[in-house]
Amino acid sequence: MSSNMPKIKDIPKFDRPREKFLEKGPDALTDSELLAILLGSGIKGTNVKVLSQKIIKKFGDNLLNVSVADLMKISGIGQAKALQISSALALTGRIFNKQNSLDNLILSAQDAINLVLDLKDKKQEHLICLYLNARNALIKKETISIGTLDKSIIHPREIFAPGLEMHAAGVILIHNHPSGDPKPSEQDKQVAKRIIEAGQLMGVNVIDFLIVAKNGVHSILGDLKNVELTNTEYVAEGSQASLFDLLVDANQLYFYNNSMAKNKKKSDNLRFIDLFAGIGGFHIAFHNAGAECVFVSEWDGPAQKTYRHNLYKISPEMFDSGNFIGDITKIKTKDIPDFDILTAGFPCQPFSQAGFKKGFSETRGTLFFDIVKIIKEKKPKAFFLENVRGLLSHDDGKTFKTIERVITKELGYSFFPQIVRASDFGLPQHRPRLFMVGFKDTSIDFKFPEPIKELKYTLSDIFNGKCDKEIGFTLRVGGRGSKITDRRNWDAYRVNGKIVQLGPKEGLKMQGFPDWYEFPPNFSSVQAMKQLGNSVAVPAIQAVAEEIVKTLKKYGNRK
């Protein structure tokens, strides 16, 4: 072994396992880095990181069953270190077995309630799911939604997507009423019945649906026998005892598997294309609004991987048909499938501080004209463009005026611009962005949706601790962290009196991605944060998407 191998103290602090754990938590560390913390120190000629990598490489997923004798076969591992590792693994095994023992079986409503005893005292509405295996043993307890004083925002996909991933056989839903009254409203019953039907289609049994409150517990299931489903567009319009604020429509259940997609008539859907697609924020938003994605373009390789990893299950036919491409400049416009709505978060750096405000003089700025070329040839019914707020003032407003002139005079479309903040639609970051919407039918009078009054959750909810800010800084591109003293700080916060760095898990929530969304395995934190900084705030996009879809249907979406 080379004597020149750096010691752990010579490795930069940000890359040392202990410091990384304290700064970003265990999810930011590799298996070998976690083991390095456990080992504490290396051996002569081998630092602790290299030693832990050797152990992981040798035993891999079988590490939990490794004996002291097996560990001592590794050069430099003596009995003391072997006992240290083996004892920790034995303790882990015991905890795992205990979690899957008979003591963890959920055999009654009271067993379920015992797991959420604090829920009845919550001041906001929560929806918690208990995912069970075929023996009714708890696999995972997960908070799906945290709402306001009188409503929760949720959709069946947030309930069943985690269950499908962990191969759950059943789920128990538990919801609280801060009013203290556990009696379900008619809206509660409607939503519960639709979710149960969705579970039957998915093969995930809804075992029970409980409401907890200070004045008792109520199971909704017994109230559903005589409930007739209606086509009510919204439920929980603010009445206290109601459950959900979004449409739960049986027609939208095709999200969950391909067989349901085939049962839905494609002609019923508006079709959209997703240009400069990033990691799919527009796709999720328009899919939730009831539109069908038929074409995607994203040039960045890692972003493509994240996009496919998450969204293949939503739009398998689009991927399988070869309509998920890289560089938009390399495809002929005529080869793009027909569509109704063009969406594009076209590159913002040319108009921002990060790109030194070069605008159309910089190559990426000219990509706007690729959008123009597609609109000119395909003539969609509408478009939805997103960019940084700085586009409005770039080059004394000349760049924005050029965009407006091209769209209205050369293409003949209407043009509705507006600055929209992520915090306007419930997210705890400001993130002001310029939204631009237009229609081929210039007689359409489009109105942007009104901001909602309350945050869905605060930074304290995101960090699961008391944060000194309710609304955070805008996520920025780059992926590198900044100190809390940085005047442009974006990812360092004081939580429970300690400085905490924002990570991918918190970033996804700040951007409003659903709970089932994840980065592919082995993606670095820097890469994940870079992708999040380039992404969009999903709830803000979705609110506008729903308004566009509703407007097109109002004016006749097949003109």
CA distance 504 to 306: 13
Note the Cα 79 to chain centre separation in Å. 45
Pick from 266, 288, 186, 201: nearest CA to 232: 186
User: Judging by DSSP bridges, how do beta strands 432-439 and 416-421 pair with one another?
Assistant: antiparallel
Pick from 394, 373, 371: nearest CA to 383: 371
CA distance 305 to 8: 33
Strands, E assignment, 97-203: 126-132, 138-146, 170-176
> Strands across the sheet with 138-146, in order?
138-146, 126-132, 170-176, 205-213, 216-219
CA distance 202 to 516: 16
The half-sphere exposure of 376 on its side-chain side, counting CA atoms within 13 A, is 12
Compute the C-alpha angle 288/532/517, nearest 5°: 45
DSSP state of 491: S
467 is catalytic: no
Name the token pair of 479: 């992926």
Torsional class of 325: left (φ above 0), alpha (ψ -120 to 50), beta (otherwise):
beta
CA distance 468 to 496: 8
Which residue of the set 129, 293, 348, 467 is catalytic?
A: 348
CA distance 125 to 119: 9
Q: Is 106 helix (H, G, I), strand (E, B) or coil?
A: coil
What is the number of other CB atoms lying within 10 angstroms of the CB of residue 468? 12
Task: Report yes or no: 270 and 557 within 8 Å, Cβ to Cβ.
Answer: yes
Note the Cα 375 to chain centre separation in Å. 30
Task: Report yes or no: 327 and 363 within 8 Å, Cβ to Cβ.
Answer: no
Sequence-separated (6 or more) residues with CB below 8 Å from residue 201: 253, 256, 257, 260
Instruction: Quote the crossing angle between the two packed helices 281-288 and 301-311, to the nearest 10°.
Output: 30
Cα dihedral 164/168/172/173 (nearest 10): -20
Name the token pair of 194: 């639709």
Give catalytic residues, as residue numbers. Answer: 348
